[in-house]
Amino acid sequence: MSVLSGKKIVLGISGGIAAYKTAHLVRLFIKAGAQIQVIMTPASKDFITPLTLSTLSKNPVHSSFFNEDDDNAQWNNHVELGLWADLMLIAPATANTLSKMAIGNCDNLLIATYLSAKCPVYFAPAMDLDMYKHPSTIASFHALHQFGNTMIPAENGELASGLSGEGRMAEPENIIAFLEADLESKLPLKGKKILITAGPTYEAIDPVRFIGNHSSGKMGFDIAECAANHGAEVLLISGPSHLNVKNSNINLIRVVSAQDMYEVCHQYFNTMDVAICAAAVADYRPMQVADQKIKKTEDYFSIELEKTKDILASLGQIKKDQFLIGFALETQNEIENAKLKIQKKNLDLIVLNSLQDEGAGFGKSTNKVTFIDSNFSIETMELKSKETVAQDIINKIIQQYHA
């Protein structure tokens, strides 16, 4: 999954021949999963039509502060557009538009939105060779760099004038690649490796039956997606679950039993920076597993159980610099039992669930958790979607490395 997925992007188009490429650029943004709002300067409409871009972006195209042909037209609010965006891209950025950006000459909707934007701004210059090298253009580049804007360098190639050289707007595929690489490099968990366990485990009774629980794995899968979206390389070890992953930064390993999960966790733990044990691992398993399906012959039937290996405690015993997070699902004496787990299992943070809270627990789309750290600091959260709880957990990890 692209880092652009879900991003809200304002694409500003100024009046150069390279504007024809923006149709393909919009298509690539949509394919990557981004939301697009297009702002055109009046001159850019000579090179590509608003109808084309509105059709591809699935949104109305803005080019003026209001529609002069409509007496009841609403004002196109440049402030709202600037605040809506997660990032703004101006492509093509002509010498004229770059100059206006540099000095704040606000005579069209595009520049007004640029001046209102609170998000990262990227620009892809497009002009003839001599214009690209002119001192005034270089001064614009320098000013915009000082403002914190990022230039997507022009490429060498044939220009509209017939000359060949630097000044050609970067190809749409290269613009997308530049944005993805730049955004990924700035993600707060870039370079971190995170192990996450999720779902239930199934402990076999015979070839047909098993002991399990109602965990869907959703909490662990949501944490994995959130961690990957923040740049982490994620190893997700899941018990039986119907869920799948979307992000290519997640390596999903499916297991069945507690022993399977134990072995995979220990295989990879030493290479990890963080481990989050969100799986609902069975505490006990049958001592004997029948080779054949057990027939229903007796009125009463008993199964002798033995303890499974405690994955979380075993990781706590061997951890070095890893940040270790555990989950606790309690029904009574929740806080005290969670504190005991922190000490006993050598945890840095525990995420406490209570089945007493409405909307929390297995099979729900929501969860209500309490964070308790190794210093026994307690932070109780409101009932939230599991996706939002996942973000809260990842925020704790980000704080750990960026405090």
Q: Which residues are catalytic?
A: 213
Q: Pull the structure tokens for residue 400.
A: 């750990």
Strand order in the sheet with 35-40: 35-40, 8-13, 87-93, 121-125, 150-151
Contact (CB, 8 A) for 33 and 2: yes
Cα 50 to the chain's mean position, in Å?
A: 31
53 DSSP 8-state letter: H
Contact (CB, 8 A) for 61 and 74: no
CA distances from 354 to 279, 327, 331, 344, 386 (A): 15, 11, 6, 20, 14
- Rounded Cα distance, 162 and 289, in Å: 79
Quote helix, strand, coil % in the chain, to nearest 5.
Answer: 35, 25, 40
Residues 6+ apart with CB under 8 A from 204: 210, 257, 285, 286, 289
Q: How far apart are the first and last CA of the chain?
A: 29
Q: What does the longest C-alpha to C-alpha distance in the chain come to?
A: 94
Element (H, E) at 258: helix 258-268
Residues 6+ apart with CB under 8 A from 192: 231, 232, 233, 273, 274, 397, 401
Contact (CB, 8 A) for 195 and 275: yes
Of the candidates 259, 156, 386, the one whose C-alpha atom is nearest the C-alpha of residue 394 is 386
Q: Pull the structure tokens for residue 356.
A: 């007493």
